[in-house]
Amino acid sequence: MDFKTPVRAPHLRKSISHSSPRVSIPPSPFMKKLGYGTGINVYLLPNDRTPSTPSRVLSPWAVKKINRSCASEHLSTYEERLQTEAKILKSLCHPNIVGYRGTSRAKDGTLCLCMESSERSLQALIEQRQEEAKGPFPVDQIIKVASNVASALEYLHNEKKLLHGDLKSGNILVKGNFDEVKLCDFGVSVELNDTLQGLKNPEDWYIGTEPWTAKEALDPDFDEDCRPKVSLSDKTDIYAFGCVIYEMLSLCTPHSEFFDMDEPEDSEEESLAFDEDAYRESLGTIPLLPPHLVYSASHKPMIELFCICCSEDPNQRPSAKDISAALQDKENLKPTCQKLF
């Protein structure tokens, strides 16, 4: 099952404009396709730019381009998201967040966002490992991803007061043998208030992608004044962070056990409806690890970390700052992670 970011755009978000380097974007058929998302394709930009100095080596760029074949009624939404992402990305500077390079218009008029290129998404690596039946990722690779993403989230939450809003393996880029891990895709990010315990603009929407979405963002419980009883906060990203660790442990999409892809065609409709109901009930809870996978003792701290991050109660989830600090002490990882409980 292919889970993509929903189409709905944040409510009442203003359009933005900003200056950026002039970049010539070739027609799509002349660029290597790196990936895709909802209404978006990502390409590798040919490295024929002129360096500012003869000795400078130019890094590869990726181009995020609106897919012109998508439904016309959604084009303005996708362009607004890309404008939002460009504005946010331009304001960020962190080693574990993909770098901004500029914006431009392709010859067909579509908006393009140019950014630092990485080799593959974590999602692609998970799918490859699943196809090769290799079992869970080694602990050191899980720690590398978790510590780098936690560091990026700490920066977003504490310094920029931003909720990423769509954290998942498809939005994490990996270069080499986990040499670099970077967070990407800020098209649905929203601003947090100064306490991180709510959105700066109450009219903003949390969009996310369903299997990675925390309980408080899925079906908010409102009080008599029509205000959510549990506010969205930095801890909403932490639930999704826990789901990313789960993905590396299970090689599965969170809560996907309720979708039997090998179900016989003549199966009764009632059983399929029950699976759908069970899936809906499981959303926002701790995902179940597959019973057939075997984990070493060294995996235990990461299993415990994913479980506490996926707590239904956001107050039980650790902050990105605490997670980042805990994962830095690799020699004492188990007792350090236990302090998060």
Where do the structural domains in the chain lie, given as residue ranges?
A: 28-116, 120-338
Half-sphere exposure of 63 (CA within 13 A, CB side): 25
Measure the CA–CA gap between 272 and 282, rounded to whole angstroms: 15
Measure the CA–CA gap between 80 and 208, rounded to whole angstroms: 16
The pLDDT value recorded for residue 37 is 58
The pLDDT value recorded for residue 119 is 72
Q: Do residues 334 and 300 touch, judged by C-beta distance below 8 A?
A: yes
Q: What is the pTM of this model?
A: 0.79
Decide if 28-116 and 120-338 have a common fold.
no
Which of 3.30.200.20, 3.40.605.10, 3.30.1330.60, 3.40.1080.10 is the CATH number of 28-116? 3.30.200.20
The pLDDT value recorded for residue 230 is 61
The pLDDT value recorded for residue 85 is 85
Tens digit of pLDDT per residue, the chain (341 long)?
556 665 444 333 333 334 445 455 444 433 444 555 556 666 555 555 444 444 444 455 677 777 766 656 667 777 888 888 889 989 999 999 998 887 778 777 777 778 887 778 999 999 999 999 999 999 999 999 999 999 999 999 999 999 999 999 999 999 999 999 999 989 889 999 999 999 998 888 888 999 999 999 987 666 666 665 568 999 999 999 999 999 999 999 999 887 765 555 555 444 444 478 888 999 999 999 999 899 999 999 999 999 999 999 999 999 999 999 999 876 666 655 666 65
* Closest of 297, 296, 294, 302 to residue 330, by C-alpha: 302
- Torsion, CA 304, CA 310, CA 315, CA 317, rounded to 10: 40
The pLDDT value recorded for residue 25 is 44
CATH 3.50.50.60 is the classification of domain 120-338: no
Measure the CA–CA gap between 63 and 82, rounded to whole angstroms: 11
The pLDDT value recorded for residue 205 is 84
- The letter for the amino acid at 130 is Q
User: How crowded is residue 255: how many other Cβ atoms within 10 Å of its Cβ?
Assistant: 23
Q: Is 220 exposed, middle or buried (0-12, 13-18, 19+ CB in 10 A)?
A: middle
User: What is the chain's alpha carbon radius of gyration, rounded to the nearest angstrom?
Assistant: 20
Question: Which is it for the CA torsion 217, 307, 164, 313, positive or negative?
Answer: positive
Cα of first residue to Cα of last residue in the chain, in angstroms, is 33
Residues labelled catalytic: 166
Measure the CA–CA gap between 63 and 77, rounded to whole angstroms: 18
Question: Which is it for the CA torsion 67, 71, 73, 74, positive or negative?
Answer: negative
Measure the CA–CA gap between 317 and 319, rounded to whole angstroms: 7
